[in-house]
Amino acid sequence: MVILIVMFSLVIILILGLALGGGTGRRSESDVTSSDKSPVANLDQDVVMSCFLRSRPASGDVSVTWTKKGLSGLVYSYKSGNAVLKDQNSAFRDRTQLFQDAIAGGNVSLSLRRVRDSDRGVYSCEVNANGTVDIDLRVAAFSAPSFTYASGSDALTAMAPRWLPEPNVTWHDLDGKVLNGTTTFSQTSAPEGVFSVVSTLRPVSQNSTYTCRIRNTLVRVVAEATITDI
C-alpha cells in the first residue's frame, strides 16, 4: 500500500519590507516603539499591530490614539480607562480593540479584526506625550497547501485555496533540485480577486520526499510531502 505522509514542518515566512521610522516631523527620540513596523495581515483574519512604551507609564492614566494616513477620523482612541470612539471612522467600527489587561504595562497594541484589503496603509500609534510610531500594514492572502497522491499516474498535487497577490510555485526534491511541475490559478468569488492554486508534479517516486514552495511578494510557504510504500 502506498500512502502519502505530509510533513507539516510547515514554514510560513512573512517577507520583510522596509521598516518605517518613528513618526514624521515629531520627536526624534520617541519612547514609543513597535516590534514589527511592517506586519503582513492575512485577508479576512485578525491582525495585531504592535505598539509599546519603552518604559512603564508613570501613572495608570494612559492616552492612546491610533490614526491612519489619508483617512478622515480616528482608527481608535483610548483615554481615562475607556475607549473613546465618537470620532472613529466607520470603516473600523466593531473591529478594533486594545488589550485591556496590558495597557498599564505600556502595551497599547491594536487588534484589528476581519482584515480587509482596504485596511492596508500606514498607521500611527501615539501614546500620551511620549511620542509616536508608524506601522505599515500590508495585506495578503495565504494558506498552506494540502497534498494528494494519485498512484495510478504517479502524480503529487498540492492545493492551496487562498493567495493574493498571485504567487509563484516551485517544486524541489530532497537535494534541493528544482523539478518541473504544472500549476494553474483560478480566481475565487469570495474574497474577490484571491487566487486558488493547484500544482501537480509528475512523475514522482515512492519512498521520496518533495518540497512545494509557494511565494508571492509578501509571503512564502514551504511544505514537504513524503510518498511511502508500506
Choosing from 108, 138, 168, the residue where a domain stops is 138
Are 131 and 71 in the same domain? yes
pLDDT for res 16: 57
Domain membership flag for residue 27: no
Are 40 and 117 in the same domain? yes
Print the domain residue range for 178: 2-14+141-229
Cα(78)–Cα(138) distance, integer angstroms: 24
Convert the pLDDT of each residue in 137-160 to its tens digit. 999 999 999 999 988 889 999 999
Would you say residue 218 has pLDDT above 70?
yes
Are 149 and 126 in the same domain? no
pLDDT for res 19: 41
Would you say residue 60 has pLDDT above 80?
no
Are 153 and 125 in the same domain? no
Residue 78: in which H helix or E strand, if any? strand 76-79
Are 162 and 212 in the same domain? yes
The 8-class DSSP code of residue 55 comes to S
Domain membership flag for residue 22: no
Choosing from 117, 138, 159, the residue where a domain stops is 138
Relative to beta strand 219-229, strand 2-14 is antiparallel
Number of structural domains, the chain?
A: 2
Q: Residue 155: what residue type?
A: A
Would you place residue 56 in the very low, low, confident or very high pLDDT band (cuts 50, 70, 90)? confident
pLDDT for res 63: 92
Position with higher pLDDT, 205 vs 26: 205
Domain CATH code at residue 108: 2.60.40.10
Quote the pTM value: 0.84
Are 197 and 124 in the same domain? no
Convert the pLDDT of each residue in 4-17 to its tens digit. 555 544 566 676 55
Are 68 and 101 in the same domain? yes
Position of cell 494553474? 184
Domain membership flag for residue 171: yes
